[in-house]
């Protein structure tokens, strides 16, 4: 099974269906969520390797979701987030980046760009996970040999 569980959060069912179709085969399992109020619970249960979040949703909006996931993302070390929006203003983009978004895609989405950006960030996540495992193994080896 390919590496990478993908969580997509958007209040529009059509956008979720489109992203699911675009991302099919890009990573492992894809989970979609149309109610941003459930994101923390689904995040904890699903343990995604990347999250795509729509910026403009009913409360909580994408920026608030980013804030709420900050501590969980920090605990994982590195977990990429891509913000999705039709809003082309710099203030929207900068706010998302300040809150820790790793990338930003503007709607209408370009299929190839979505796939390439998700694949690149999933590869970074996979390398991070491999490095963390190797470090843990080295630490355990050091402890048993001393």
Which domain CATH number covers 140? 3.40.50.2300
The pLDDT of residue 2 is: 66
Q: Exposed e or buried b for every residue in 82-116, given b needs 16+ CB within 10 A?
A: bbbbebeeeebbebbeebbbbbbbbbebeeeebee
pTM as predicted: 0.90
The pLDDT of residue 72 is: 86
Dihedral of CA 109/110/113/115: which sign?
positive
In a domain, 33, yes or no: yes
Residue-wise pLDDT tens for the chain (146 aa)?
Answer: 567 999 999 999 999 999 999 999 887 899 999 999 999 999 999 999 999 999 999 889 999 999 999 888 888 889 999 999 888 888 888 999 999 999 999 989 999 999 999 999 999 999 999 999 999 999 999 889 87
CA-to-CA distance for 105 and 41, rounded, in angstroms?
25
CA-to-CA distance for 77 and 8, rounded, in angstroms?
20
In a domain, 126, yes or no: yes
**Residues spanned by the domain of 108:** 6-145
* The pair of three-digit structure tokens given for residue 84, joined into one six-digit string: 């999705």
In a domain, 109, yes or no: yes
In a domain, 1, yes or no: no
In a domain, 19, yes or no: yes
Q: For the chain, how many structural domains are there in total?
A: 1
The pLDDT of residue 25 is: 83
């Amino acid at each position: 099974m390919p590496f990478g569980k993908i969580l997509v959060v958007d209040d529009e069912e059509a956008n979720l269906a489109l992203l699911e179709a675009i991302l099919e085969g890009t990573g492992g399992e894809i989970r979609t969520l149309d109610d941003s109020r459930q994101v923390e619970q689904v995040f904890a249960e699903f343990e995604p390797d990347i999250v795509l979040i729509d910026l403009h949703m009913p409360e909580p909006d994408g920026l608030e979701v980013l804030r709420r996931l900050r501590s969980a993302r920090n605990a994982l070390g590195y977990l990429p987030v891509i913000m999705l929006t039709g809003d082309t203003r710099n203030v929207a983009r900068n706010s998302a980046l300040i809150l820790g978004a790793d990338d930003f895609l503007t709607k209408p989405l370009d299929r190839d760009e979505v796939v390439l950006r998700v694949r690149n960030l999933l590869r970074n996540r996979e390398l991070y996970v491999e490095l963390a495992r190797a470090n843990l193994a080295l630490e355990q080896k050091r402890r048993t040999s001393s």
